[in-house]
Structure 1
Amino acid sequence: MKTQLTLTQRQALKTLNFIGIMLFTLVVFNPVYGQTKTNSVSEVSVNERTIKGIVSNEEKVLKDVNVRLKGTRVGTVTNEKGEFTFPKKLKTGDILVFSYLGYENQEIEIKKDTAFIKLVLTEDLIEMIGALDSAKPYKSKRKN
């Protein structure tokens, strides 16, 4: 059994629904403004800069050298010409780590006037096998 509403009750219900929808829309779609300091943002952007560079060994440029920001996963690799452009703007004091198989890892600290890095990597010995134990001959545990 349905309850019949009078015309004034329906009118009041429609008004309450409209007010509720308007309040919901106002709360949900109203932009939120937090406290912002425009001075600190401009100071940070002045100190941050894009770093470019070239990586080589004693003879030629090196392709696919890993260049990453120390302590993060942000990085890039050098192209065929040994050049790189770091994807994130860096600030003074940040450290870039350069690594390449067969070469020593090198860390370069970003100074306030650093914009271009020209780096020469030095070769490093690679130990492919650990120490061999030759005191006892090797015997297979597998039976034929």
Structure 2
Amino acid sequence: MKTQLTLPKSQHLNLFSITSFILLLFFSFNPIIAQTNSTPITIKTTEKERTVKGIVSDETERLLGVNILLEGTTTGTTTNEKGEFTFPKKLKTGDILLFSYLGYETQKVVIKDDTSFIKLKLTLDDVTMIGTLDARKPYKSKRKN
């Protein structure tokens, strides 16, 4: 004959509580064990930004009104009456400045780690003037003196 064992409700609750407590203890140690492994830390270095100043001239004198533009943007400045400039935005290594002036070749300057002052000499560009002149008859003004 088989006999069936039945536990009172209070013992069921007690058995359930003990089992739950043991499972809770078992799973609570897992995060602690997982956190003991060391993970490599990567540190990103930010590039140093700097203010760039300089002087632009040609073979004989400093140039007024040379356009200086940061490549790929609309940020720029011009030289003053002494040919000096201070770029309005802080620049980082690898930025490229474009120097342009009417009648002169456009030059690119790449900002390096130690660039804070630029002394640039622009060279003349070939200027071609195209036009025709009709010299068959002299010009006579229609104005009366």
TM-score under structure 2 length normalisation = 0.58
Q: Flag structure 2 segments of 5+ consecutive residues without an equivalent.
A: 1-42, 133-145
- Tell me the equivalent position of 2:57: 56
- Tell me the equivalent position of 1:113: 114
- Tell me the equivalent position of 2:21: none
- Tell me the equivalent position of 1:19: none
- 2:94 partner amino acid: G
- Tell me the equivalent position of 2:96: 95
In the alignment of these two chains, the number of paired residues is: 90
Identity across aligned pairs (percent)?
64
- 1:91 partner amino acid: K
SS at match of 1:98: strand
- 2:92 partner amino acid: K
- Tell me the equivalent position of 1:123: 124
- Tell me the equivalent position of 2:79: 78
Rg larger in structure? 2
Structure 1 residue 129 displacement after superposition: 2.5
Structure 1 residue 127 displacement after superposition: 2.4
Structure 1 residue 128 displacement after superposition: 3.3
The CA RMSD over aligned residues, in Å, is 1.7
CA shift digits 1:90-120 (9 cap, x unpaired): 0000000000000000000000000000000
TM-score under structure 1 length normalisation = 0.58
Structure 1 residue 125 displacement after superposition: 1.2
SS at match of 2:60: coil
Separation in 1 of the partners of 2:129 and 2:90? Answer: 37
- 2:125 partner amino acid: D
- Answer 1 or 2: which has greater helix percent: 1
Separation in 2 of the partners of 1:115 and 1:128? Answer: 38
Structure 1 residue 126 displacement after superposition: 1.9
